[in-house]
Amino acid sequence: MLKEQVEKALEEIRPALRADGGGIELVDVTEEGIVKVRLTGACSHCLMSTHTLKQVIEQQLKEKLPEVKSVEQV
């Protein structure tokens, strides 16, 4: 069920990433609350991708879903 909630939350984040030519794909959500994602498009090789991942995506997911402990790029 957490995976579906994460996917729904990512849908709210995607428009901002698309505006910069990027995207995000949900790969997995572990039982420990670790969200594994793949950044796509311009985000996949952007120098700011780590910042975007931790300061934007992870923060928003944690705010919406307290079960999320961290977000990792795979």
Q: Look at residue 26 and tell me whether its pLDDT is greater than 90.
A: yes
Domain boundaries, the chain: 2-73
At 73, is the pLDDT very low, low, confident or very high (cuts 50, 70, 90)?
A: very high
> Do 15 and 23 contact (CB within 8 A), yes or no?
no
DSSP string, 32-62: TSEEEEEEEEGGGS-TTHHHIIIIIIIHHHH
> Do 47 and 35 contact (CB within 8 A), yes or no?
no
- For the domain bounded by 2-73, which CATH number is listed? 3.30.300.130
Q: What is the pTM of this model?
A: 0.92
